[in-house]
Amino acid sequence: MGRPPCCDKSNVKRGLWTAEEDAKILAYVSSHGIGNWTLVPKKAGLNRCGKSCRLRWTNYLRPDLKHDDFTPQEEQLIINLHKAVGSRWSLIARQLPGRTDNDVKNYWNTKLKKKLSKMGIDPITHKSFSQILSEYGNIRGISNNNGNHVASFNKNFNSTLVSKPEQPSSSVLTGPSSSNVILKPPIEQVHENSFINNSHSWEFLPQFQVTNHDILKPYLFNEVSSSSSSSCSSTATQLNSPQSYTCQESQPPLTPSSSCFWSEFLVNDPVISADFHHLQQQQQHQDSHGVLSSTSISTQNNIFHGKFTSGNGDFGPYDHGVMNGNQTNSYADASSSSASSFVDGILDKDREMGSQFPQLLDPSFDY
DNA sequence: AAAAACTTCAACCGCCGAGGA
DNA sequence: TTCCTCGGCGGTTGAAGTTTT
């Protein structure tokens, strides 16, 4: 029964690949193409596991791979995609031609996580640290109320900080620069993050919602449960705020089985409903053909780059520094008043927190 | 100049779903 | 139906390189 094992793992070479081994794989693939990887070591004359050969090819030898540094555009795209789908590296890498999931994952872990943390942005939730604190929140209520509220706050706060079990709160509570960032976030960071939460991270969501509906849903609702204390007052606000993961105000955390879908937000927004509908049609077309055509990808990217971006040519909201509370992108224009009030709300929360807890602004303050 | 600390990233590990035997 | 491999995935490791002390 079954198939024979692909290789004797105790008897194959491991570790770094030599140029000679690379040449053998390249020679084999160029003459035979990509097929059964378990046969490759034998046929190519390599003492390696087939799986290892496949990995070497897909992560390093493939001719379509880029080996140069990530561009600012790619960097921004990774950040945006990570906000929407989390560490679905293969999904993210598919939006970056010439990059592998391993590339993206390494770049995120070694560069982007630190970069965001230094900017006062939690790389897990993509919210500013001050915003996390203010959300968990409604600190005035906690200080005035009984232990139940405090317990609830602690529970919610912890659940956010460890919203992904594999990355327990380290990016928030530890790290070389995080403590200063948490305690004294520059006010413009709130602006920047508001912009992030308001716009770019949503730009591609219709695309993902359509093409990866089943994959994305549970993940997004994980975010819901970590943001359960948030509230939102309108569809427009939902679409332009980090709290938009929730469907209704004061709702208990949603579960993956919830009947609330992204598409409900999307189709309720007059600005994007047309595009969403268009993408749904694309999806139907795609389903009928089995694969996502390059035309479809291109069209979606056009939407991403053209319609929903801020239009100033600056791809990087994290690099802006010019974003103010009244600025919104075209996506947010449909609900500009809600969006700006959301920004104002964050700023008000920030100020309120600062006035109520001045020790938080003291760099010597220690949790 | 040398050791320690830190960073990078290729490679590995283990899990999962699909599908072959 | 069961057992197994394959291919794909995300997380982790550790060697090599770089920077700091």
Task: Per-residue pLDDT tens, chain A, 367 aa: give them.
Answer: 434 455 666 678 888 999 999 999 999 888 888 878 888 888 888 889 888 998 999 999 988 898 888 999 999 999 999 988 888 898 899 999 999 999 999 999 899 988 888 888 888 888 888 887 887 665 445 444 443 433 333 333 333 333 333 333 333 333 333 332 222 333 233 333 333 333 344 444 434 433 333 333 333 333 333 333 333 333 222 323 333 333 333 333 333 333 333 333 333 333 333 333 443 444 444 333 333 333 333 333 332 332 223 333 333 334 333 233 333 333 333 333 333 333 344 344 444 444 544 443 443 333 3
Q: Which nucleotides of C are covered by protein (CB under 7 A)?
A: 2-12, 15-16
The answer to whether A291 CB is within 7 Å of strand B is: no
Q: Cβ of A154 < 7 Å from strand B? A: no
Contact A80, A89 (CB under 8 A): no
pLDDT of residue A131: 81
Cα–Cα distance measured from residue A305 to residue A302, given in angstroms and rounded to the nearest whole number = 5
- Residue A2 CB lies within 7 Å of the nucleic strand B: yes
For residue A130, give the amino acid letter: S
Q: What is the rounded CA–CA span in Å between residue A220 and residue A182?
A: 25
Closest nucleotide to A6, Cα to C1': C5
A350 within 8 A of A190, measured Cβ to Cβ: yes
Both tokens of residue A12?
Answer: 């194959």
The pLDDT of residue A92 is: 92
Tell me, what's the pLDDT at A99? 93
Question: Strand B positions with any atom < 7 Å from protein CB?
Answer: 7-14, 19-21
Buried b (16+ CB within 10 A) or exposed e, A128-152: bbbbbbbbbbbbeebeeeeeeeeee
Following DSSP, what letter does each residue of A202-214 receive, concatenated?
A: HHTHHHHHHHTHH
> Model pTM?
0.51
A14 CA to B13 C1' distance (Å)? 13
Burial class (CB in 10 A: 0-12, 13-18, 19+), A300: buried
Please give, chain by chain, protein residues whose CB is below 7 Å from any atom of strand C. Answer: A 1-6, 15-16, 35-38, 50-51, 54-55, 58, 87-91, 101-102, 105-106, 109, 164, 166-167
E strands along chain A, which residues? none
d(CA A199, CA A273): 16
Q: What residues contact residue A97 under an 8 Å CB cut-off, 6+ apart?
A: A64, A66
Q: Is any atom of nucleic acid chain B found less than 7 Å from the CB of residue A308?
A: no
Q: Is residue A176's beta carbon less than 7 angstroms from any atom in nucleic acid strand B?
A: yes
Strand B and A68 CB separated by under 7 Å: no
Residue A14 approaches strand B within 7 Å at CB: yes
* A55 CB closer than 7 A to any strand B atom: yes
Alpha-carbon distance of A248 to A113, in angstroms, equals 31
Residue A272: C-alpha distances to residues A204, A205, A239, A304, A335 (Å): 11, 11, 10, 12, 12
